[in-house]
Chains A and B, each alone.
Chain A
């Protein structure tokens, strides 16, 4: 009996150690499906990015913050939701590196976030509407992205 408890404790410790070192990432192609005129040259319908989604979760190795990163061939915007998940009516903080190596940081609102397949699924589809996209005032972009989980490393 004592040995069984010991083995169970060891297994729990091993599992915790494994999870602490791993992280859970999803990757997918993100398309802009609508943008407001204020986006100007920064964003247009049909623009495509590689999305990396890192949902919050200590039990999946990702910690308390959620991250959503969009990279084109020459620019990046990475959004972070501190101590929360991406969802409607929550604000994000972000850093941008523009196509002319303009570097900036800003905060914006998540106006919509519809997610299916999350909570441990292999594939997650997301439709989201993000205010102040790429840090541009009054630029709201709607994004469709279908993400698939990367292998554990």
Chain B
């Protein structure tokens, strides 16, 4: 059959048109805007200013703080979400009514917008009457009660904990799908050879689930770098810029009307995310095995 004639390229054009106008053109023109002084006061009058924006960015102390905070957030949440999600998956992967209940409950927070979660956690982290400090005091650990979001030493970790609480269930669901795809006879063979539970996890489960790990790692890395609502809704970068992350830093300069400068921030932001995700993707893809 005349395949070339049958499959009409016209069917791709609506999607391509939208994508070109609202994704490709903005991303390419970002490279131009980053070299201009475009701002809200002279919105129709932008001039090229060379590397000025980047120079200003790299000597901005808060930019480096936000980069450091973002990397900290990515590292902590990626590790915790994957480890906790994996353990949860191991514990609830068998089909039973109780496990179905557990899965449903643990996945539920994923459905809620980050900004709503932030508002809920503002009350949970409340220093006087919040759930966490009340609980600590009730078991006699009142000394550990903190101003979780107010104390600049703990604010970033508290926001990370919130993200871990919300998204571990997502990784769990992906791991459960991965676990269920491993042929059962692998474990039976290992049992005959006298492998312990831990050895089975180490030498069968983990290697055969690399594809799931690739996905959860890349997802968590990308969403970690893009973190915004969780910070915006709780501390909005404070106290003293101690929780400033890349996305809130970008929004701050946008809200101040420094569009050219913000475009430069956006470019650096995009390069950091793309570089890290690509590195991990290549690294983990190599570890995948056929069976």
Q: Do A and B bind each other?
A: no
Contact surface of A with B, Cβ cutoff 8 Å = none
Using a CB–CB cutoff of 8 Å, the interface residues on chain B facing chain A are none
